[in-house]
Amino acid sequence: MNRPVLELTDVVREYPGSPPVRALARVSLTVTAGEWVAIAGPSGSGKSTLLNLMGALDRPTSGTVRIDGHDVGELSDERLSGLRGHALGFVFQSFHLLRHLSAVDNVAVGLTYRGVGRAQRRARAVHVLERVGLGHRLDHRPSQLSGGESQRVAIARALVGDPALVLADEPTGNLDTRTGADILGLFADLHAEGATIVLITHDEEVAAAAPRRVHVRDGRLSGVAA
């Protein structure tokens, strides 16, 4: 059996209030190396809270979150930041590319704080851009790229550090249907190559592309078993 990359055990997340607002209620989920899991749910279901916990951007009120074997609750803020930088790759709906940088520099910047030399950063960025089908767009800036190409750059940026887990938050949300299907095809290719992916979406058709689907509603998960 492949090793667990993400483990949530009896996770509760509450926000202050009178009474406290419970966004997640005793959530348990395990994602193993090489899996592609879609987590689907409507607005207000707890998806964003779940994403923040899986991305080491927040800590649970109770329960345990382990990312690549590390208990998030036991890490200092500095070590938590290091965990995000080394173990996780993020893909967002709005791409979050730096407009003044070329595609290759947008990808290479993800390695800046890892002690990787400039030449090696560029070489790795070129390699991963070629991997996502953008070898011909290396020196183009975001304004010169289509939405689908911009998302491919964002995916390349998430992959360049060889993370244990890629978290994709509504990665097709700003794309037309055909381009969105192309991006899902790219995720399928990356999964076939061994990438571990968790995709968050409100769209059941997008979720259906993943081999394993989990649903979240009112802070609870269903369909958790592999």
The residue count for the chain: 226
User: Which pTM was predicted?
Assistant: 0.93
Q: Please name the residues in contact with 44: beta carbons below 8 A apart, sequence gap of 6 or more.
A: none
User: Can the peptide bond before residue 19 be classed as cis, meaning omega within 30 degrees of 0?
Assistant: yes
CA–CA separation, 42 and 218 (whole Å): 9
Pairing outcome for strands 197-201 and 21-32 = unpaired
- 20: number of Cβ within 10 Å: 11
Q: pLDDT tens, position by position, for the chain (226 residues)?
A: 689 999 999 999 999 988 888 999 999 999 999 999 999 999 889 999 999 999 999 999 999 999 999 999 999 999 998 899 889 999 999 999 999 999 999 999 978 777 788 889 999 999 999 999 999 999 999 999 999 999 999 999 999 999 999 999 999 999 999 999 999 999 999 999 999 999 999 999 999 999 999 999 999 998 765 5
CA–CA separation, 220 and 195 (whole Å): 26
**Domain tally, the chain:** 1
CA–CA separation, 78 and 92 (whole Å): 23
CATH of residue 147: 3.40.50.300
Pairing outcome for strands 4-15 and 21-32 = antiparallel
Burial of 216 (0-12, 13-18, 19+ CB in 10 A): buried
Domain extent, residue 89, equals 4-222
